[in-house]
Structure 1
Amino acid sequence: MAPHLNIVPSMFVLLLLFISASKVQSDAFDVVAKFGAKADGKTDLSKPFLDAWKEACASVTPSTVVIPKGTYLLSKVNLEGPCKAPIEINVQGTIQAPADPSAFKDPNWVRFYSVENFKIIAYEKNTCENREFRSKLPVNIRFDFVTNALIQDITSKDSKLFHINVFACKNITLERLKIEAPDESPNTDGIHMGKSEGVNIIASDIKTGDDCISIGDGTKNMVIKEITCGPGHGISIGSLGKFQNEEPVEGIKISNCTITNTSNGARIKTWPGEHGGAVSEIHFEDITMNNVSSPILIDQQYCPWNKCKKNEESKVKLSNISFKNIRGISALPEAIKFICSGSSPCQNVELADIDIKHNGAEPATSQCLNVKPITSGKLNPIPCSGPVPKTPSATA
């Protein structure tokens, strides 16, 4: 789901130690001792923090920004590069955001922009009681134009929009993340990305009210593996085709994931209408579904809240897509739905070794429209064995 840019309350728990890739001894920039920050939970940390960052970023030798023990108020911060040498941020205290959401003029709280070769590593959970970021804002953390980064052990709770947004980034690994929001909260995608290449999301637990992971246009060569997803809307390619000049999505592999109590499992979604696009080389493999309403879904009639051009076909071209070794339980009889475009039918869609049972009295079924899947191995349900819905999807 695309975010609405109004400011709404949320809570963000981000327990971070920022460490540069360099192990060289660094110069320290203490926000209290040198820049006058106050650990009173009332005085805004933004200016001392940003001033420390700017001096550290301008240093020609490796440097460290230090936030000592204590409680700090942070309204927002944009940490921009490029920097002249490796930079580290060492957070030892508690950083809180204003309780009043009107304090935020931008749709983000902590933003990294144009930073290269850095790491974000959280403290171990059992030592974090007094080292927390808390905020109220729509997007909890943004990575824009970031290259060669490792993000580990972040916990994000109760965002009202995307927890983590990745835009125009290259070669980033997000690992061992914990993301949580109520299952009825809209637009709270766990991780959303667009126009990025070489992103890896590994060994993370995502419970949210929207897509656990959503992949927007321009995403290429991505690996998603060992994800526990649910509740939420599953792992989604899209939505795509709503806007002009969207870039292709290609080379996405999702594997070794467990999806539980979600409305969708492995999903590709495109809007009906005049805007084109392309999706290719998408591979879902080795996935377990537990009580998922639509375990396998291609939906080219995606129309949340019935706000679309219902009488038009999707112009987004789908090709070379596979679903292999997917097993588990469907909450509804329709375990597989391939609803492809009439003007641009899906090509080279493969089903192999599928075993999905319905948890009710009726057997699981499979629906196909404008596609002839390539099949192999054991297949339950039988491909294309059920009727096809002819109305656009009305849910997100």
Structure 2
Amino acid sequence: MVIASLFKALCLSSCSSPLQVVRPSGKKVFNVRRYGAKSDGKTDNANAFTNVWKSACARSGSSKIYVPKGTFYLGGVEFIGPCKNQIEFVIDGTLLAPSNPRDIKQDTWINFRYINNLYISGTGTLDGQGKQSWPLNDCHKNTNCPKLAMNRWDNITQQQNGTLNFFSVHHFNITGVTVTAPGDSPNTDGIKFGFCSNIRISNTNIGTGDDCIAILSGTINMDISNVKCGPGHGISVGSLGKNKGEKDVNG
């Protein structure tokens, strides 16, 4: 997935005004290299990235985490709030997943959780190396199939930015993103939403082997414009109706 102005600033869930870009001022910059991250494409930088996040998250003033050009291998990482400030996360390099999905020791590869005021941007790439994992996705016939990791964003408000799985995320924009997977890749939803609200997706290109955008239970108030889908199944509402307690999709 190519990041290019991934998410423009989001309004807090209590805001009633239209979304607008809020650029943090007076930010302290946290360069991942200064925390020991190596761009050799093979050193696992999960601890370095986690330590950068903890420092930026704990700071009272606005923070900017910067990933410079280069290939940074990540075996799996979580960025967890709440934080004390607004965080800008700029990715100009490549974040590289393990080629063997079993080397990701969690359900998600990159996970953002419980964060307000998150801004993600940059010219970089999130390379999930999915080609190595797709042959293992045979759950339709194998009950012991491995659970493959994805990127997940949980309980986040005011952020920007399958490939991307959003759950309980509110008031956010996604713009200028490119998601790329071949048409024969299995179950590679581009962007998936559940129990989310007030979402804007624009100026984005999504090519997958499944839904380009999947709108699931409890998602309300979504605006999609200038999005190119293909290959893939297009923009879908569902799956719905399978589980008890599902909520309507509205707006």
What is the DSSP-based 3-state SS (H/G/I as helix, E as strand, rest coil) of the residue aligned with 2:25? coil
User: Residues of 2 paired with 1:222 and 1:17: CA distance?
Assistant: 17
**Could you tell me how far apart the structure 2 residues matched to 1:73 and 1:243 are?**
37
Q: CA RMSD in A?
A: 2.4
**1:30 maps to which residue?**
31
Kindly indicate whether the alpha-carbon contact (under 8 Å) linking 2:50 and 2:79 is maintained by their aligned counterparts in 1. yes
On the 8 A contact 1:78/1:110 being kept in 2, the answer is: yes
1:68 Cα offset (Å): 4.1
TM-score, with length taken from structure 1: 0.51
C-alpha distance in structure 1 between counterparts of 2:167 and 2:43, whole Å? 31
1:176 paired with 2:176, answer yes
Q: What is the number of residues matched between the two proteins?
A: 222
What is the one-letter code of the residue matched to 1:134? D
SS in 2 for 1:54: helix
What residue in structure 1 maps to residue 144 of structure 2? none
Return the TM-score normalized by structure 2: 0.78
Alignment partners' CA distance in 2, 1:19 and 1:199:
11
Cα displacement (A) at 1:75? 1.0
* Distance in 2 of aligned mates of 1:250 and 1:133: 31
Contact persistence 1:18–1:91 (CA under 8 A):
no
Query: In the alignment, is residue 142 of structure 1 matched against residue 152 of structure 2?
Result: yes
CA gap of 1:229–1:63, structure 2 versus 1, over 3 A, is closer
Equivalent in the alignment of 1:61: 61
Per-residue CA deviation, residues 279-331 of structure 1 (Å, 9 max, x unaligned), is xxxxxxxxxxxxxxxxxxxxxxxxxxxxxxxxxxxxxxxxxxxxxxxxxxxxx
Higher helix share: 2
Q: One-letter code of the match for 1:209?
A: G
Q: Structure 2: 5+ residue runs without aligned partners? A: 10-21, 131-147
Task: Give the whole-Å Cα distance in 2 for the aligned partners of 1:19 and 1:214.
Answer: 21
Q: Write 1 or 2 for the structure with the bigger share of strand.
A: 1
Partners in 2 of 1:14 and 1:168 — Cα distance?
Answer: 22
- Once the 2 structures are TM-superposed, how far is the Cα of residue 206 of structure 1 from its aligned partner? 2.1
Per-residue deviation, 1:17: 7.9
SS in 2 for 1:114: strand
Structure 2 counterpart SS, 1:44: coil
Give, in angstroms, the shift of residue 244 of structure 1. Answer: 0.8
Work out the CA distance in 2 between the residues paired with 1:132 and 1:178.
9
In structure 2, the partner of 1:41 is 41
Partners in 2 of 1:243 and 1:211 — Cα distance?
Answer: 20
Q: Partners in 1 of 2:69 and 2:106 — Cα distance?
A: 28
Q: How far apart are residue 171 of structure 1 and its match?
A: 0.9
Per-residue CA deviation, residues 328-366 of structure 1 (Å, 9 max, x unaligned), is: xxxxxxxxxxxxxxxxxxxxxxxxxxxxxxxxxxxxxxx
Structure 1 gap ranges (5+): 1-11, 124-130, 152-161, 252-396
> Deviation per CA, 1:228-263, whole angstroms, max 9, x where unpaired?
223322221111110111112111xxxxxxxxxxxx
Deviation (angstroms), 1:16: 7.2
Aligned residue in 2 for 1:241: 241
Q: Report the CA distance between 1:62 and its aligned residue.
A: 1.7
Aligned letter for 1:144?
A: D
By relative contact order (CA 8 Å, sep 6+), the higher-ranking structure is: 2
Partner of 2:145: none
Looking at structure 2, the residues matched to 18 and 212 of structure 1 have their Cα atoms a distance apart, in angstroms, of 17
Q: CA deviation at 1:91?
A: 3.5
The Cα shift of 1:96 comes to 2.0
71 and 241 in structure 1: CA distance in 2 versus 1, 3 angstrom threshold: closer
Give the residue type in structure 1 aligned to 2:245: N
1:187 touches 1:209 (CA, 8 Å); kept in 2?
yes
Q: Please list the CA deviations of residues 185-238 of structure 1 after superposition, one character each: whole Å capped at 9, or x if unmatched.
A: 231112111111111222322222212211111011111222222332222111
Contact 1:139 1:164 in 2 (8 A): no
Alignment of 1:1-396 (within 5 A): 12-14=1-3, 21-33=22-34, 35-123=35-123, 131-136=124-129, 138=148, 140-151=150-161, 162-251=162-251
DSSP-derived class of the 2:33 partner? coil
Displacement after TM superposition at 1:92 (Å): 4.4
Cα distance in 1 for partners of 2:206, 2:125 equals: 19
CA drift of 1:42 comes to 2.6
Tell me the CA shift for residue 99 of structure 1.
Answer: 1.9
> 1:181, 1:14 → 2: CA distance?
15
Distance in 1 between residues matched to 2:154 and 2:181, nearest whole Å: 23
